[in-house]
Structure 1
């Protein structure tokens, strides 16, 4: 487990007076403001975020020392991380995406399928992108109870039962 969780990203400038366009990844989007301080991915920068108002696909916000559009644009693409101890506890069947990355994924027969590379969401359910074992290929498995019946964070493993057609066919003679 990581010490920090990605809770949002800076999407660039909003206007010309140093306001930022913020995308929140929190279940309650406004909560991003409560996780202070926020950090850059490498931990080298710290941010105190103040939401000004909702805008399309996010929030307009201020960060101290960002006074111009150029300052704001320079931060475009910076992911914002909160300390794990500030985050709420989750129910047993919910997980922070950061906790799923790099977990080994096995099928229901105990065969290693691969490792979780990323967790994606394109508007419906979450998808686990698996780096397939022994290859450079990836595939996506729906992160549903049917397709992923077991997530064991303490053992560092997931048991998956992917729908037919998700995994590449293997030649078994």
Structure 2
């Protein structure tokens, strides 16, 4: 089931004493997280209707269905919330959901396998592919730009990278 789920946000803990939570959205338009409600836990065993009630630094304050006390809200700290893939908009050809990139084989322009994408990170300046492989002495963080990653082939499960000299 998790292949059909996309992580769209995470709960940062309680906000106030009436069960409101701090919610960080991973959506391109952060406020869209509310439109994908109800959101699910990773295993799909629980769902929460989401109502945004305010904005805070790096996120929102929100009400989740079934959460009415500070203790319940605190217990959800760190909970990742998922939307079903069919709830989300289809993407243009040059955009990808992070979850679709994780696990892809990484090849150089000559077709030599370098490793796999372990994660996609974003610390504010753009997406970074975390690449790990047996022939790499360290994990490599490569900016996910058209210049560095000219080819992404989800069907074949691979990407071709052309990093700057010395990056790998």
TM bucket (normalised to shorter chain) is: over 0.9
Show structure 1 runs of 4+ deviating over 3 A: 133-137
Structure 2 unpaired stretches of 5+ = none
The corresponding residue for 2:110 is 109
What value does the CA root-mean-square deviation take over the aligned residues? Answer: 1.4
Q: Deviations over 1:75-126 (max 9, x none)?
A: 0001110000011011110000010000000000101010000000111121
Q: Within 5 Å, give how 1:85-164 maps onto structure 2.
A: 85-133=86-134, 137-164=138-165
Unpaired runs of 5+ residues, structure 1, are 168-173
Tell me if the contact between 2:48 and 2:66 (Cα under 8 Å) persists in the aligned partners. Answer: no
Equivalent residues, number? 167
Correspondence list, 1:55-70, <5 A: 55-70=56-71
TM-score by length of 2: 0.95
Q: How does the TM-score come out when normalised to structure 1?
A: 0.92
Q: Is the 8 A contact 1:104 1:115 kept in 2?
A: yes
Give, in whole Å, the separation in 1 of the partners of 2:59 and 2:104: 30
